[in-house]
Chain A
Amino acid sequence: MSGQVFLPLLKRDLLLAFRRRSEVLQPLIFLLVVVSLFPIGVGPGPQILARIAVGVIWIAALLATVLSLDSLFRSDFEDGSLEQLVISGHPLALVALAKVLAHWLVAGLPLVLLSPLLAVWMNLGEGGLMVLVISLALGTPILSLLGAIGSALTVSLRGGGQLLSLLVFPLYVPILIMATSAVTSATDGLPYLGQLGLIAAGLVAALTLAPWAIAAALKLSLE
């Protein structure tokens, strides 16, 4: 009679996201707006755009992710659901994993799916698209996992949002470097599997370690 946590929580969060569809779409629209600002600001010359394409798309992805992370635990914290989850006795790391997965399905996966459009806008070189999509598919879950640690640490603070960016951006530096390097190598015809392999290894590490940190941070925030 002890119940389950992972699937019910995942389903609940997906249902809640569906009920607030318009809010969920906002970071994605933000992503599109930010990327489209670059040709406007830098000039539409195809060569410049191609040169900065990877960086722009990935940085826009970082920004959009951080935007959506602030509310990851906030509503549960404020309405008392987080307390109930902690008291239920289920492993908090599983709770964290379920919430991050729901968040990624709703905020990260659409980024991956939108990336071909962004690649076309930014005139990304040939051979880069597939690697871009793979780098985002492997990288955005890492962004969600690491960002969730920051989100859990700041959930009990009133002005949490801006502090969250400061907390997570240093942690994002390695992924940004590896992902942009992979795609740039692909467009230059150089080997890129090493970088992708490192990102994949990072994903495994994050999946193993981050939930514990998130759980500890959530317990701390409830005090």
Chain B
Amino acid sequence: MLQANQLLIERHFEPVFAPVDLQVQARELWLVTGANGAGKTTLLRLLAGLLRPSNGSVRCTAPAMRFLGHALGLKEDLTVTENLAFAAALNGRGDLSLDDAITEVGLDEARFQAARTLSAGQRKRCALARLLLSPATLWLLDEPYANLDAQGVGLVDRLLEGQLSRGGSCVMSTHGALRPPDLPYRELVVQRAVARV
């Protein structure tokens, strides 16, 4: 579904991380870990096709892909409902209705609130609702656990479980100890490139 060969990117003519090889099959969950600043976000953006590699290649054969970046992609002046309606129009909507998706992520009471007024955790939930609304076989998530309370973390785990059981896959970055408790996963550790003196 997703393949990376000797993937490398340079900033200021120095590699950011050591070359990455990755093969993601169906029903696989990959955790991208590494120290702060090692380049996890950069790697995910490379895999998503937002960045061009300096060396190596990325090949994505998945029919549809969803990306959750550091910036969530929510318009401040639009309500939760409006934001999700736009996302559904853009990416196509699956079987789940807008209202059900909002309920599923626990934003029932905030559905008509502007994104500007939401807390960081609520915004994250709104962005996660997009994953429910428009199913895709490959998910690339940058720090999905960030800013979420215990229930939010549980929500992410439920989403991951659903994705894998449907035959999809996911590559997600996480730092620290947060990992999905019951799901089998494989780990890719991003190593900062060795600085040459």
Residues of A within 8 A of B (CB): 1-5, 8-9, 12, 15-16, 19-20, 75, 78-81, 83-88, 90, 222-223
Contacts and interface: CB of A to CB of B under 8 A. Distances in A.
Interface string B154-181: 0000000000000000000000000000
B87 interface: yes
Interface stretch (B15-23, B91-99, B103-111): B91-99
> Per DSSP, are chain B's interface residues mostly helix, strand or loop, or mixed?
loop
A87 to B, nearest CB: 5
A15 B85 CA distance: 13
B52 A12 contact: no
A80 B48 CA distance: 14
Contacts, number: 77
Nearest to A1: B92
B187 interface: no
Nearest to A5: B90
A84 B77 contact: no
Interface residues on B, range: 20 to 34
Given A16-B77, A19-B77, A79-B75, A84 B94 contact: no
Given A2-B92, A86-B50, A78 B71 contact: yes
A8 B73 contact: no
Contacts of A15: 78, 82
A88 B86 contact: no
Interface string B50-80: 1110000000000001110111111111100
The 3 A-B residue pairs with the shortest CB-CB distance in the complex, in nearest-first order? A80-B71, A1-B92, A8-B89
A1 B94 CA distance: 7
A15 B89 CA distance: 15
A147 B73 CA distance: 24
B37 interface: no
16 contacts: A1-B93, A3-B90, A3-B92, A4-B90, A5-B90, A8-B90, A12-B75, A15-B82, A16-B78, A75-B75, A80-B69, A80-B70, A80-B74, A84-B67, A84-B87, A87-B50
A79 B50 contact: no
B6 to A, nearest CB: 20
